Amino acid sequence: MQDKTRTKIYDKTILQRFFTFLKPYRKLMALAILFLAFTSIFDLAIPYITKTAIDRNIIPHYVEVTQPEQLDSRFMNRTVILTDGRVLLDISKVSRADKAELEKEGLLGKTRFIIVNKLIKGKAEYFIPTQNNKYAIPENSLKNFNKKEIRILRERDIRAIYIFAAIFLGILVFNFIFTFAQVYTLQYVGQRVMYDMRIKIMEHILHLPLAYFDKNPAGRIVTRPTNDVAAINEMFSSVLVYLLKDIMLLAGILIIMYRMNPRLTLYMVALTPLIVFITVVFRIKVRNAYRIVRKKIAALNAFLQETISGIRIIQIFTLEDTMWKRFLDVNNQLFAANMKQLYIFAVFRPLIEVIRALALAVLIWLGGGEVIRANLSFGALVAFISYIDMFFRPIRDLSEKYNIMQSAMAAGERIFALLDENVEFKGKGLRKQIRGKVEFKNVWFAYNRDEWVLKDISFVVNPGETLAVVGPTGAGKTSLISLIFQFYRHNKGRILIDDIDIEEYDLGYLRSQMALVLQDVFIFSGPVEKNVKLYNEKISEEKVEKAIKYVYAHEFIQKLDEGLKSELGERGTTLSVGERQLLSFARAIAFDPKILVLDEATANVDSHTEYLIQKALKKVLQNRTSIVIAHRLSTIKDADNIIVIYDGTIKESGKHEELIKKRGLYYHLYTLQFAKDIESV
């Protein structure tokens, strides 16, 4: 069976339901978002600190004012006056708008100066005294000094750079601390949410009706609390929260760039429509490719499941080559679908890289011109380049995030579809002591609407009596048992336990008063003892040993290396069919049920085990209501009543001898199996 989900990249309903699992951890989530905001601020601060260090302390920032008399008085506190009357303006303390205005009026010269506190011996000609007992040196004169002298001259700038480096390092340390706190908090919340989701899913699975498990393969159900929950956690920890950080960063980048240079920022933003167009096309293409890949994966899973389940038939009829060819065909289709998806991703990421490179080229071209025209500082250009790289980073990661989001939405749809399945009817809560009377009154049942499996079934089993149900395969015998245990609910008629409608009882209590022995006995991995008492600690080891001896299972258990403590493999593969049957009997006896149901329990066993079972049955059936379904009719000769079901209806009923005398359907079934016994009768 293939999944038929056609998941959207963003499904509001799924996200809303997912956030209900986050609600208990909203305070931790708020804390994680706060940490996230701090890390975003730190990320934004690093390029700006670099810009400030370059503009204030790496590049000389004093410029000669060509016409000092026209300089506005508000700038005078940012000037240095030379002894020859020239005026130098500290442009690092002038706003971008004022600097542009001064540049427009032609008040700023081209030569830059540095201000120092002392002279270098032998090179006084390069120093211009200032009125405040300092010295100015033109930038183009620095080539006349050696490295040691330059370090002395720029000692104040070097100290400032050390301070900026310390601030830079401090931001990195704080960024690490807050990032660690954010990641740890986020992952902790993610793990708690996964834990809660698995509990919710498993709790729901345990209470689903048997019909759900009949329609859905076990492998698919297993993936719900494992792979699907992990996919949602990956979306939460890798996409949703970081999407918030990306939004913070993008908004912060645009604001900072706009404050530094609106014109250059608008040029960069002009590329946005192209990015949006490419992203929309990518989203459409990858969504279609993703659906095809999912369809092919589902086809491969279905094929593998069918092949592994039917491996015995494949080997018996030598179909290995045929199945191999079919596998190659399915595998090739999946490979082609994956390659198509890979091609789309392979085009998208380099295309975004090309646009990023184009943006950088435009930035260097236009930004360089702005620097030359003094409308943009060199430090601001460096910051612009860093911010552009940060701007494109989340866009580059979009393809990976999209894939995670798509997988998570599909997983969420499957999880919540399972959680929306109705749990089995729990009954109305009655917990009355049960004596063991079972009665069917005109019961009708169908798995599918109007396709009746049981039609107008009526019978009574009094406390302590044994009812045998016989009939050909497909007659409805097993369906009858399913109704007694309420694995399925009947459509019409009434089922009574001790003259009370079965739906009045608490379902868990009712089942605790019954036991079912199946032909295909399920054995759990674990010790023999745990398989008998099914991890019910109320059943003592003494009671387990008594039950085992009661059904003669002790003969083979004593031969095991550790007896009751011996570990059994998955499904009890180390035991024979007959031994598993005896273990199932012991399990039923340990729980001491009021009603015992044996569904073909004596089929497929060796003669010795059958002999042991026959001996055990006489003891097991004593003093409890029993319903036996068997193909070996010798096991039901002593039944108090036998009903013969054919095509969903009761054709005959009575004791063994009565039915033989009628020479009806039961007689023919019996004759086929026991011709020799009929001759003696």
User: What pLDDT does 279 receive?
Assistant: 80
Closest CA to 48 of 253, 191, 331: 253
Amino acid at 15: L
User: Which runs of consecutive H residues, i.e. helices, occur in 227-319?
Assistant: 229-235, 241-260, 262-269, 272-309, 311-316
Q: What is the pLDDT at residue 494?
A: 96
The reply to whether 202 falls in a domain is: yes
433 and 411, same domain (yes or no): no
Residues 305 and 186 in one domain: yes
Residue 287 pLDDT level (bands cut at 50, 70, 90): confident
Q: H helices then E strands: how many in the chain? A: 25, 18
Is 107 inside any structural domain? no
Single residue among 368, 389, 419 that ends a domain in this structure: 419
Tell me the backbone φ, ψ of residue 429, rounded to 5 degrees. 95, 0
Residue 572 lies in a domain: no
- Predicted confidence at residue 211, as pLDDT, reads 84
Say whether pLDDT at 623 is over 50: yes
Same domain assignment for residues 233 and 172: yes
Dist. CA 660–CA 514, nearest whole Å: 31
The burial class, CB within 10 Å (0-12 / 13-18 / 19+), for 280 is exposed
Q: Which pLDDT band, with edges at 50, 70 and 90, does 6 fall under?
A: very low
Asked if residue 5 has pLDDT above 60, the reply is no
In a shared domain, residues 391 and 431: no
Confidence of residue 641 (pLDDT cuts 50, 70, 90): very high
**Six-digit token pair at 629?**
């379904």
Cα–Cα distance, 604 to 458 (Å, whole number): 30
* pLDDT given at position 570: 67
The answer to whether the CB of 641 falls within 8 A of the CB of 459 is yes
Question: What would the pLDDT profile of 481-523 be if each residue is shown by its tens digit?
Answer: 999 999 999 999 999 999 999 999 999 999 999 998 887 788 8
CATH of residue 366: 1.20.1560.10
Q: Same domain for 393 and 475?
A: no
* Average pLDDT over every residue of 649-662: 92
Residue 526: burial class (beta carbons within 10 Å; 0-12, 13-18, 19+): middle
| Residue 54 reports pLDDT greater than 70 | yes
pLDDT of 676 > 50? The answer is no
In a domain, 110, yes or no: no
Do the domain assignments include residue 533? no
pLDDT beyond 50 at 2: no
Phi, psi dihedral angles at 306 (to 5 degrees): -65, -40
What share of the chain in percent tops pLDDT 90?
36
310 found inside a domain? yes
Task: Please tell me the least confidently modeled range out of 18-32, 613-627, 632-646.
Answer: 613-627
Mean pLDDT score, 359-363: 88
Q: Where a domain ends, among 386, 419, 452?
A: 419
Of 368-382, 417-431, 432-446, 583-597, minimum mean pLDDT range: 368-382
Question: What is the structure's pLDDT at 615?
Answer: 79
C-alpha 369/C-alpha 261 separation (Å) is 12
Per-residue pLDDT, averaged over 260-265, amounts to 87
What CATH number did the domain enclosing 647 receive?
A: 3.40.50.300
pLDDT interval class at 61 (50, 70, 90)? confident
Q: Can you give the pLDDT at residue 553?
A: 85
Number of Cβ within a 10 Å radius of residue 151? 12
- In this prediction, residues 400-429 reach a mean pLDDT of 86
Q: Quick one: average pLDDT of 218-223?
A: 81
Angle at 417 between CA 416 and CA 422, to 5 degrees: 105
Backbone angles phi, psi at 664, to 5 degrees: -100, -145
Select from 384, 403, 419 the last residue of a domain: 419
Residue 460 pLDDT exceeds 90 = yes
pLDDT at res. 601: 52
For residue 639, being part of any structural domain is answered with yes
Mean pLDDT of 31-54: 93
The pLDDT, as a whole number, for residue 127 is: 92
Task: Name the CA dihedral angle for 495, 501, 504, 510, rounded to a multiple of 10 degrees.
Answer: -50
**Rounded CA separation 547/531 (Å):** 12
Are residues 190 and 268 both part of a single domain? yes
Query: Among residues of the chain, what percentage have pLDDT more than 70?
Result: 95
Q: Count CB neighbours of 467 within 10 A.
A: 22
Same domain, 372 and 415: yes
DSSP state of 54: I
The pLDDT confidence band at residue 600, using thresholds 50, 70 and 90, is low
- Rounded average pLDDT over 574-600: 84
Containing domain of residue 455, as a range? 427-513+631-681
**Higher pLDDT pick, 122 / 614:** 122
User: Does the pLDDT of residue 134 top 60, yes or no?
Assistant: yes
> What are residue 596's DSSP bridge partners?
515, 626
Of 566, 620, 569, 570, give the one whose Cα is nearest residue 597: 620
Comparing CA positions, the residue from 207, 230, 613 lying closest to residue 427 is 207
Between 206 and 569, the more confident residue is 206
pLDDT of residue 680: 43
Answer yes or no: do 467 and 508 share one domain: yes
**Can you tell me the distance from the alpha carbon of 414 to that of 11, in angstroms, rounded to the nearest whole number?**
13
Structure tokens at 116: 């120092």
Q: How many CB atoms lie within 10 A of CB 386?
A: 17
414 and 431 co-located in one domain: no
Residues 366 and 274 grouped into a single domain: yes
Mean pLDDT of the chain: 86
Range from 181-185, 364-368, 522-526 carrying the lowest mean pLDDT:
522-526
Range name among 14-23, 335-344, 514-523 with the lowest pLDDT average: 514-523
Higher pLDDT, 657 or 630: 657
Phi, psi of 442 (to 5 degrees): 50, 50
Asked whether the predicted pLDDT for residue 595 surpasses 70, the reply is yes
Cα(681)–Cα(617) distance, integer angstroms: 24
384 and 459 inside one domain: no
Q: Cα–Cα–Cα angle for 81, 87, 91, nearest 5°?
A: 110
In a domain, 98, yes or no: no
Is residue 621 predicted with pLDDT exceeding 80? no
Q: Is the pLDDT score of 394 beyond 60?
A: yes
Q: Are residues 411 and 501 in the same domain?
A: no
Length of the chain equals: 681
Domain count, the chain: 2
* Average pLDDT of span 545-571: 83
Question: What's the 3-state SS for 606-627?
Answer: CHHHHHHHHHHHHHHCCCCEEE
